[in-house]
Amino acid sequence: MATEEKEMKVTRGCNFLVDEASLDDVFIPEEFDEEQQMVGQLARDFYDGSVAPVNDEIEALADGVTVNLLKEAGELGLLSVDLPERFGGFAQTKAVSMLVAESLCKNASFNTAFSCHTGIGSLPIVYFGTEEQKQKFLPGLATGEIIGAYALTEAGSGSDALAARTTAVLNDEGTEYVLNGEKLFITNGNFADLFIVFAKVDGEQFTAFIIEKNNEGLSLGAEEKKMGIKGSSTTSVILQDAKVPVENVLGEIGNGARIAFNILNVGRFKLAAAVTGGGIAAMKETVEYAKGRQQFGRPIAEFGMVQHKIAESLSRLYAARSAIYRTAGYIDQNIATIDVTDPERDSKVIDSAIREYMVECSILKVFCSEALDYTVDEVVQIYGGYGYTQEYGAERYYRDSRINRIFEGTNEINRIVVGGEVMKRAAKNSIPLFARAKALLDELTGFPDLGDDDDTSFLANERKLVNQARKIVYLAAGTMGQTLGMKLQDVWGHEELLGLLADLIMETYAMDSAVLRTMKLKERGAPDVDTFHSALTRLYCNEAMARMEITARTLLSAIVEGDDLSMALSGLRRTAKYAPANTVALRREIAEYAASHDDWGL
């Protein structure tokens, strides 16, 4: 049924850098309706009732355990949240998809299998498959009768995916492609029934194929022995004259890059939700431990340096979750503008609605995985010696976290995506970044804007910090554009600079997202917004601004020198000047709240 026609506002990707968002356009997790909340509760109940009791068996890779759990999830509809209704799916919003991902986060091994199947193992067929391919495979993927996997990485092509050496040659009859090569580190490899495999047709045209497990010529390597996520299956996929029917070509010949990179946007987005949920779960367990662990006659949760670790972790996780659902809301707004009767709707969702936010997806992947890493490191420290043993969960959280900075494109590659894509859009004037940089230069060479220091409204200082953060990005990006110009097209010659710019952009998005969410909670009359959520936001913004000044100083010093550097640093000092909050008091307030409340509302 066609949706009611109405004019819908769509927020462009990267718009957060140049415009202040309206609260009406920002989605926050507190806005889920009752039906959507029930989907999240269904996922949590499934985890508590079915996954948690067999955690040890999952970690031991016990035969059939994960497969049976995936099938049970399929029966509950959890595998089909992203799939079209006509193929047995729920066709829920991306925000609900994120809610499910974060609800299954406590066992990273199972979550890895689940996320692979529901994301990169299924969605390439949704977005790029023919109607016949969708009819053949999607109903089984929706129920778990078919388990999906994604085979892109090779020994010589990790981050450089297009350097793949797996070949595909059409047979003389024109009925089958014969594939030869080996794919590495394939999640769900041991039990997947279907693989999305990338190969070069005639050694040149990078192409995606759907290969079923029983295809002649396909075999699997042994399970990899890994640092973490030990309960997830990770094998190689070996193709020796593997025969693939021509009808199993996914998309068009030579169009594999479009599939691979667009699907990675989805994978990065889903990973962000899962790892943020994992960080919150780990910290909840840790706070309970700290409340019960007595040293020097009182719980360690009352010690200031422990409170520092708790509060710093929670502030990062709050900013992360705020950014996740903000991005989900933008994507859902964009998808809603695509006519449901359009036969090309599925491909437009990935090519247009999701790709528009590729920068935000990469930001989320990096920011959230590093927020989790920070959190689990502090989790182990709070547990002390017990955190280094397998008796408690801290050790597993620590090991399982590390892979997330490598999954779905390394954080280094994603930083280059963020910095490079923003500069590309600025050069095309898709976002008026250079115009903002020019306006900032005029401002810095004129009379100083003293601003409204008497503003005492809610989060006035933090809103000002967000605007200052934007200006730091303008200063950095403008200096890069003016000094380096077309040289920036040589990404590998300037990767450190793009990475530093990415850090500035990520901090800006995180700060802005936290402020907007807290402002919206205030507008909705949420309890504790004036204390807990406000403190989380103030802490994050203050700490982020301090980091941004150091990062910008490093970046500017690498681009210009002499008088130009002096002028740039002078501009930075004016732009980054702020009166810091008492972050020690904020951390104590946050940690005390966390210790005295069960529901944090992160």
Whether 3 is in a domain gets the answer no
Mean pLDDT per 10-residue section of the chain, whose length is 602 residues: 53 97 97 97 98 97 98 98 94 96 96 97 97 98 98 89 92 97 98 98 95 96 98 98 98 95 94 98 98 98 99 99 98 94 90 95 99 99 97 96 96 97 95 96 77 82 98 97 81 91 99 99 95 98 98 98 96 96 98 97 93
Residue 331 belongs to domain with CATH number: 1.20.140.10
Q: What is the pLDDT of residue 9?
A: 78
Domain count, the chain: 4
- Helix and strand totals (H; E) in the chain: 19, 10
Cβ distance 178 to 103 under 8 Å? no
Q: Does some domain include residue 8?
A: no
Same domain, residue pair 373 and 261: yes
Cα distance between residue 570 and residue 567, in whole Å: 5
The DSSP-derived string for 496-541 is: HHHHHHHHHHHHHHHHHHHHHHHHHHHHTT-TTIIIIIHHHHHHHH
State whether 421 and 541 are in the same domain: yes
Q: What is the CATH number of the domain that holds 120?
A: 1.10.540.10
Displacement of CA 486 from its chain's centroid (Å): 30
263 and 392 belong to one structural domain: yes
Estimate to the nearest angstrom the gap between the alpha carbon of 263 and the chain centroid: 13
pLDDT of residue 163: 86
Active centre residues (catalytic): 408
| H-run or E-run covering 571 | helix 562-575
Q: Are strands 194-201 and 205-212 parallel, antiparallel or unpaired?
A: antiparallel
- Tokens 């990899």 belong to residue: 224
Q: Is residue 351 a part of any domain in this protein?
A: yes
As given in the structure block, the two tokens for residue 589 are: 């307030």
438, part of any domain: yes
Does an H or E element contain 384, and which? none
Same domain? For 561 and 586 the reply is yes
Is 12 part of any domain? no
At residue 476, the pLDDT reads 97
**Are 131 and 211 found together in one domain?**
no
Residue where a domain terminates, one of 218, 250, 282: 250
**379 and 438 belong to one structural domain:** no
DSSP readout, 184-223? EEEETTTT-SEEEEEEEETTTEEEEEEEETTSTTEEE-PP
The per-residue pLDDT for 448 is 61
| pLDDT at site 452 | 58
In terms of domains, do 400 and 421 share one? no
Quote the pLDDT of residue 4.
44
Q: Which CATH number belongs to the domain containing residue 200 in this structure?
A: 2.40.110.10
State which of 389, 407, 425 marks the end of a domain: 407
At which residue do the structure tokens 């104590």 appear? 588
Q: Are residues 420 and 280 in the same domain?
A: no
Is 15 within a domain?
no
Residues 135 and 175 in one domain: no
Residues 438 and 487 in one domain: yes
Residues 509 and 591 in one domain: yes
Residue at which a domain ends, from 125, 146, 167: 146
Flag whether 41 is in a domain.
yes
Q: Is the pTM of this model over 0.75?
A: yes
280 and 426 housed in the same domain: no
Question: What is the structure's pLDDT at 450?
Answer: 56
Return the structure tokens found at 142. Answer: 């929706």
The dihedrals phi and psi of 53, each to the nearest 5 degrees, come to -65, -20
Domain that holds residue 284: 257-407
Does 21 reside within a domain? no
